[in-house]
Structures are given as C-alpha cells and as structure tokens.
Structure 1
C-alpha cells in the first residue's frame, strides 16, 4: 500500500507537474530523513514532499500553532499533568502496569513542552477519556481536543487552508475517522486496497472487515471511493455500501520492458508473496512438487518473508523439493526476477488487485493464478495471457503448470506478447489519466448538511419475507435528497448493511429481506436513516415513540431502546423467505 501511494504521488508530480504532499500522522516519521532517502533512491519524485504532523508541530512558531482550532473549552490546569522529563528525547511516556499508554508528552525542537496527550481522563491510571493539549513556549494552553481525530483535523485545516485540494486516503486506519473531515474546498477520496469482508470466503451479506469497518459504513461521507477492480466495485455496490460514490481506478505498474521473444528456461518459475496465511504459498509448493513428480523439469524461486517460513521450509523438505523450490527471503527489487522467469504463481486467498500479477505480465512472465476475489479475473484472459485456476484447487494448479510447460514456443511467445500488451493498460500514463478523469468529475459545490433532521418509526412489522418499515422524516429544511437508505449496524462484531428506501413527501418506506440479516442471529442491531445529497451525507438514528406501531415475531424482536430509538434482535437461526 505504501509503495502504491509513493508511486502514484510521484506519477502525479511527473506527468502533471503538480505539487504533491504525502501526509503522515506517525510520531515515528518526525524528521525529514526518510524523505531524503526516498528522493536519493529515486523512489520519490523531487516534487513530492512528505509532511509529518509532528515535524510541523515541533518546528512551528507559536503564531502558526495558534492556527490550530480546539474543540473543547481550554483548561489551563492541564499543564499540571506534565511528566518529569527524563532525558533530551522529544517524547515522555506514562504507561500502566500492563504497558498500555496513558499519557504522551511531546516537546518542541526548542525544548519547551508542546503537547500533553492524556488518555486516562475518567480515572487516573485507567485508560478512558482523552484530552490533547497544545501549549505555547510560555506553557500557556493554545487549544485542546477531546479526541485524536479532532486534533488531526485541526492540523489538516492548517495544512490545507482554503485552497481547493484533493485529499486521497490510502490507510484504512485513517479512513475510519477521516470521513468526518468534510470541507467545501476538499475533495475527499478513499482508496479501498483489499477485501472488504471479514472473511474472504464469507457470504456477501456477512460481517465487514474489522480494520475497515469505520469507513465502509460511511462511504457516502466521501466525495469519491475507489476500488482497484471492477469485480470488487460491483460486489460492494450489490450491498448498497455506496450511493454512486464507488468507481474503479487500478493500481499502476512499472513498465519492466519485458521481451516476449527473449529465450527463457521454460521450467523456471518465480513467486513474490509474503509468507503468511493469506498468500497460501503452501499450495504453490505442493503443486510444483506434484509437477516434478510427474517427471517434469521445474524450479520455483519464492521471494518474500513472514511467519509461515518455518512451516514452508518443512513442507519443501517433506516433498523432497529442496533442489527445486527455494525460499529467497525478502529481496529488494524482486520483481526484476520476472524478466528471467518463464511463469509466476499466485495462490492467495484474496487480493485487492494482485500487483505482482501485473508486474509478472509486464516482464513477459506468464501468470498462473487462483481465480480469487479480487483481481486475477479482471486482468487475465485464461489461456490468452495467463491461466486461471479455481481457488484452492492444488491439482488444478499443477495441471495448469503442466499445460504451460507443454506449449510450443510459438504459443508461449504469443502469450508473452499478450501479457505485455495487457500490462500496458496499467502503466503510469493510462492510470494517471484515469485518476485525472475521476477527480475532475468531482464538484467543489458546498457540502449539504442536515444535522437537524429527525426520523421516527411510524410502523415496523416482521413479515414472511423480512422487516417492513415506514418512517416519517422532518426538519430537512431546504435540503434536496437524492437517495435514502435504511441502514443497520450490530452493537458487537462488524455486521452492517442497508437497503434503499422509497420516499413520498415526509414518509419513507423500506423492506429488509431476511437474506440481508440472517447471518446476525443473536446480535442486537440499531437502525438508522441514511440521507444522501448531491454533496453531503447524514445518518440519523430512528426514533421509536409511543405512537409507533411495532409488530414483532419469534424470529425477530423489534423494540424501542431506553433512549427511544428503534432497534432489534435476531432471535432464531431458521430465518427463511417465502419469496
């Protein structure tokens, strides 16, 4: 992900002669050394700058620090929380007996106290409640925030100011809170790099990925959300995760100048993968060992490292394949090995796109891949520029390798030509042109806010097919809705979903089929109304008053919470639809 962000930023700068900043929130990135290293290595274009939150704060003057706007009333007694300074390092930490961070003090480059980030505000010594305080050089409070996300947004407001800007987020961690950063002059884009479900083998109505849960249920808060493949975009649209904000923009890949006619040892294979469960490298080892057992000459070099290395080493030995399969470990520039290799393997459980597939094809190395979500099938045409195998079918993988080894030189040369030609669709210019198209299509129109909107359940009934809901919405003022949805979220776990609703004046109706909720048996679920505007999004909890008509069942229990909100609990597992 980091490599992709660096390459994309550099391509923006080169091809559009544009100033690009990569923003980082990590305290470990304080200092400019990493930027210089990347520039010197040629990894980062000279017009691209890495800008660190902590580099800014620890070097800014008091005058510039005062541009940071707080969100809570300043408490001058916060300075009394300062820790004893133990040395010259710019950070002092306080932890509990189990090593959990309770407080971090940060110091200005000039030596005075800058920030106290205290995370035990409810009860000293126990995590809970947060207060971040920014000080001037006289140790007077400049501003305070009640959460890290508010603190980060204050910095972004200073960095971006009122300039029309495009903010592209590649980090799921940051995406889980950056969706709240809505400014008229900022086009906010979220890039989804990997699978969006908690389990890649799960049904498409199951739980969402935990590390992405925060932003996946707020995609309409972004101006634009991208996927790397059409297949993932369609899968996410099928669940109504976005009201037209999703579009496909693939990763770019280097032009490795693969020569389709260059002689290569047909039996030589390469694989680039982390040695981790997601990559399922053991399947590649078993398949290659099986091909060797059939009497074929074959070798496989595996580049990458990870937790599965000991297990994979034992597997290679157990298959008597030590002289055929080699774990090369992490090697800088490993993709260059595709230029001398004849075929590559990808056996992952899932992929965001599978950048190594594109790199292999760019080098004229034929990819043989599991047809997993998402990526390979969007890139490879089976038998034309690569091979697709049913996921987890090790015998099928071995058969595909054997088929490739049996092809004539003319057939292989044709496949290599086709592979290089297909990879060219993902080179720098076409992908940056695509980014230009999707960003240029966005509008800097004022963001519509409907913070005072109110929704109340008129009726909710468990039917033979699911849940039928009628709502009344009010206090929309002059806002013009484009779409409405009824959404639900489990209180535990990461279940989330929504269905489009119909609006007639103040009344909104929706039907939630059992097929969308049957996986949440035993879960408590809270319902909301999602209001989508041309540029704007509001999620409103649904009130459930005394006048609301609620008809529940043995399967689904619908009720009003103690706070007067509409919620439910799926009681039984035998939910079936008669439709």
Structure 2
C-alpha cells in the first residue's frame, strides 16, 4: 500500500483541535423521538463545528421520505447548526447522475434476475405529490417481496427483490442499482455493497474521519477499508447481553458481528475506562481502543436557585432496558416513607400503556406523570431537584451529565457502564445497588428531607463533575485520538508486518 495516498497527520492549532479533512458521523437514522445516542452524536457534531472548526455531515441509511423536513426541524430546535448537514442514502441515490452511478461494480456470481414491478401490480407510495417507492407483497400480504425505489420521473434507481430463491416466496435477495433510464448497472445479493458504494461517492477520495455511532451501521462499516478514511466506532452502550456480567459474560446478539471484527476499525472508542478495560481483556483482539466521554452543555447554574427538593424529572425511553417501572415503584415507596415527592417521566415507547397502568394500580396518578416525548424535556431537568436512572445497562449516560450540569442530583443504579464514573455516592448524587428499589426510595427521601444548604453543596459538586465534560475538553480528546489513528495507519502502511 502506498502511504503517499493516505491521510497525513496534519497539525493542531489552538483554533483547530481536530485534523483537517472531511468529518462525518454515521448513524442508521434520525427517529422523531430520538434518544441519548442520537442526542450525543448531534452534540458532538456541533462541538466539532464550534470548537474544532470543521464541517460535519451526518450520514443516514434508513428510508424516510421526509428527511428535508427532519433537517428543518432539527435546525429550528438548534440540533443542526450552520456547518452541519444531514444526508441520506436514498435521497442522494435518487438524484445521482449516471456518471456517478456507473462507478458501481457488480459482485461476482450474482444470483437472481432483475424484474421491475409492474406499475399495475404493485402498491405505489406517494409523498408530497411524488412517487417514491413501489412495493410487491406476498400473496397474503404478510411480507414485502420487492421494493422498487423511484425517481421523480418514475424511473427505478434501486430495486430490492427478496424472493430470489423461488418467486412468490420470501428467500434470497437481489439488490440492483439502475441508471436514469431504469437500466441495471450493478447488482449484489446483499444490501451492504450499495451502502459502501454511496459512502465512496460521499467521501470522493478525500481524507476522511468517520465516526460510526450506531450498532447497525457498525456491522457493514467493518467492511469499509480505505487508505484515505479513518473509521472510528463509538460504542454508546454496554456490549453485554441483558443480565450478563462483564467482562466474561455473553455478548449482546446485536453487537456480536461487530465485536468479532473490532480490529477492522482504525479506532474503537468507549465512553468509560471500565468498559474499555473489560473489552480489552476479552474481546479486543488487538483492536486499538481508547476512551472519549460524551460532552454536555454547561447551562447557567445558580447553587442558590430555589427549587422544590421533592420534585424529580426523568428522561427515558419507555422500554424494558430503561426499567421505568422501578422508578415509579421507588417514588411510591418514598411517598410511603413520608416524602411528599413527585416524578415526571418524559419519553415514549412500547411500555407506555403498561407503565400508565402501574401508576394507577399504585394510586400515584397525582404524583407520577407520563407526558410523553418532548423536544424540550431536558430543560425541565434544570429546575428539578433529582433525576433517576434505573436502566439495566448504559454507556456514559448523557442524561446524567445534562442533569448534573444544572445542579439536578442523580440517583442511579450502579450498572455497567457509566454511573460510577460520574457519581460519588452522597457527594454529588447517589449510587444504588442495581435493582434495589428500596435504596432508590431512601435516596429520594434523603434529598427531599435535606436542607437547602446541604443540597446546595451537593449541587455545586454535581456541577463541577459536569464541567469536566465540556464541549471544548471532549473535542480536544477526539482530536488526539484522530491524530493517533492516523499515525497508526501510516505506520501500518509503511511496515505491514
């Protein structure tokens, strides 16, 4: 490999702590009610612009016909700023000129034949007056057998057929890229070569720093090895299966493929030293691992701010991993112990109905509130007295940093990973043995019954903790890891042994 075509180490100045080059964040998509991982990714990208002086593209791969609307909403909410761009595979493939499309190469020995869906036989999806996709279903309507993605003029730019083995029965896959006339240019029996083709178009030979945030995109980025691209996989959450104890427990099913190939990345980044240590011991296989935490907004903070010590706010998806039912039960137990406390849980998810029923069963309808997802929910943290984290696993919980920045005291299960890296029990919050609902209740009572002076001291300590995770400090850490990754890649090219 010729090192002359690879990334150069560059220089660091007081203005630009990040190396010069094309910077992008890779995630699967931006859901409407996005959670901590997406929030952290967007915040890091903004910091790369404001603190690192670099433009950042956010690259997405899911099909949503309204990505321009999503980008507009993110801009209005301040999540997407000047210097950032939200880009989507399907939106851009739809408009690629034939000169770019012809750069794609078919796989060898492709199985199956391209057959576009007859316009009269399929179901055509229309969005904002334009045809976007045509779908062909299995006879019973239970499964989609083919999706043809359409340009504005109705021509096919990608066909995804899923009944290759036997027509009419789900099995096998044929993905076909077509030119502006709908003529096939390249075909594959998997989807990931199409993803990598688009990445090559986006990168366009530039020196690139690519941070891979989501688990699903990490799977196919393990195959994306380019001399001019530094790939860095940021592991946002625990790599362990539910209920497994690190470091020797079973890997999460959705992470297994990537963790068996960690050395495919130029850097693997963890949010905590504890998780890096566990992975190095069991799973790294020589992968270059490092630690870079999430950053947080340092909001205006007044330790003497008046706030009701018994008011709690929690931000969490309403799903099994977050165990919000533990928080609700703990609030009820704290009230039974005499604390006149309340809890508002912002978030949505599959467990919403079940949690609402639990609130009614425990007669907590006046003290536990489930208002749903709110784009401004985190602002409520900074007027609350405490927040709860009852998850089974985390990475470095951004919600704890956000709360502590504004002096909101965290009460968290001591789970892998994250809470113990932030909370010094009884000093800037409370750490509780995992699953100990009574312990959470006692911590709520402790906060609710403490004096304003006592709580003020703890809130100042929480704020000092958050200050260690400022945008400028964390961006500088990213810059260091990027330069180290470049050095490693250059050394490997010069001496492959």
- Structure 2 alignment gaps of length 5 or more: 1-36, 125-129
Q: Please provide the CA RMSD for this pair.
A: 2.4
Secondary structure of the corresponding residue to residue 144 of structure 1: strand
Q: CA deviation at 1:148?
A: 0.9
Q: 2:418 aligned with 1:375, yes or no?
A: yes
- Aligned equivalent of 1:13: 49
Q: Which residue of 2 aligns with 1:499?
A: none
Equivalent pair of 2:328/2:359 in contact (CA under 8 Å): yes
Is 2:395 the partner of 1:352? yes
What is the 5 A alignment of 1:58-457?
58-72=94-108, 78=113, 81-86=115-120, 89-96=131-138, 97=140, 99-202=142-245, 204-443=247-486, 445=489
Distance of 1:210 and 1:340 partners within structure 2? 39
Runs of 4+ in 1 over 4 A off after TM superposition: 446-449
Q: CA deviation at 1:398?
A: 1.9
SS at match of 1:132: strand
Q: Which has the higher contact order (CA 8 A, sep 6+)?
A: 2
Distance 1:117 1:312, change over 3 A: closer
Asked whether the 8 Å contact 2:262–2:287 carries over to 1, the reply is no
What do the CA deviations read for 1:439-486 (whole angstroms, capped 9, x no partner)?
A: 12112646969xxxxxxxxxxxxxxxxxxxxxxxxxxxx951xxxxxx
Q: CA deviation at 1:71?
A: 2.6
Contact 1:275 1:306 in 2 (8 A): yes
Cα separation, partners in 2 of 1:448 and 1:94, compared to 1, 3 Å: farther
Displacement after TM superposition at 1:196 (Å): 0.8
| 2:131–2:151 Cα contact (<8 Å) kept | no
**Aligned equivalents of 2:356, 2:163: Cα separation in 1:** 46
Deviation at 1:435, TM superposition (A): 1.0
- Per the alignment, residue 577 of structure 1 pairs with none
User: In the alignment, is the contact (CA less than 8 A) between 1:190 and 1:225 conserved in 2?
Assistant: yes
Q: Is the 8 A contact 2:246 2:278 kept in 1?
A: no
Q: Is the contact made by 2:110 and 2:189 (CA closer than 8 Å) also made in structure 1?
A: no
Relative to structure 1, the CA distance from residue 105 to residue 312 in structure 2 (aligned partners, 3 Å threshold; closer, same or farther) is: closer
Unaligned runs of 5+ in 1: 450-477, 481-579
Q: CA deviation at 1:221?
A: 0.6
CA distance in 2, matches of 1:142, 1:329: 46
The DSSP-based 3-state class of the residue aligned with 1:259 is coil
Cα distance, 1:337 vs structure 2: 1.1
- Give the Å deviation of 1:126: 2.7
Range moving further from structure 2, 132-141 or 207-216: 132-141
Kindly name which structure, 1 or 2, has the bigger radius of gyration based on alpha carbons.
1
CA contact (8 A) 1:284 1:347 kept: yes
The residue number in structure 2 matching 1:39 is 75
Whole-Å Cα distance in 2 between the matches of residues 62 and 259 of structure 1? 59
Shift of residue 173 of structure 1? 0.9
2 CA distance for matches of 1:139 and 1:336?
49
Per-residue deviation at 1:162?
A: 1.7
Q: Is the 8 A contact 2:311 2:343 kept in 1?
A: yes
C-alpha distance 9-407 of structure 1, shift in aligned 2 (>3 A): same
Moved more, 283-292 or 363-372: 283-292
Give the whole-Å Cα distance in 2 for the aligned partners of 1:30 and 1:403: 48
Q: Is the 8 A contact 1:30 1:55 kept in 2?
A: no
Partners of 2:149 and 2:159 within 8 A in 1: yes
Give 1:175 shift. 0.9
- 8 Å CA contact 1:57–1:108 kept in 2: the answer is no
- Preserved contact between residue 242 and residue 392 of structure 2 (Cα < 8 Å): no
Q: Deviations over 1:139-164 (max 9, x none)?
A: 43322223211121112112112211
1:200: Cα distance to partner?
A: 3.3
8 Å contact 1:183–1:447 — kept in the other structure? no
The structure where strand makes up a greater share of residues is: 1
Residue 50 of structure 2: SS of its match in structure 1? helix
Question: Which is helix-richer, 1 or 2?
Answer: 2
1:303-327 Cα offsets, whole Å, 9 max, x none, are: 2223333333333333333332222
The offset of 1:33, in angstroms, is: 3.0
CA contact (8 A) 1:73 1:144 kept: no
Cα distance in 2 for partners of 1:193, 1:149 equals 22
Q: 1:240 to 1:214 in 2, by over 3 A?
A: closer
How far 1:248 moved relative to its partner?
1.3
For residue 28 of structure 1, what is the aligned residue in structure 2? 64
Query: Per the alignment, do residues 315 and 31 of structure 1 end up closer, same or farther by CA in structure 2, a change over 3 Å counting?
Result: closer
Q: Whole-Å Cα distance in 1 between the matches of residues 238 and 226 of structure 2?
A: 29
- What is the rounded CA distance, in whole Å, between the counterparts of 1:5 and 1:105 in structure 2? 31
In the alignment, structure 1 residue 4 sits paired with structure 2 residue 40: yes
Compute the displacement of 1:118 (Å).
2.0
SS state of the match for residue 64, structure 2?
A: helix
The normalised TM-score by structure 1 is 0.73
Q: 1:140 to 1:232 in 2, by over 3 A?
A: same
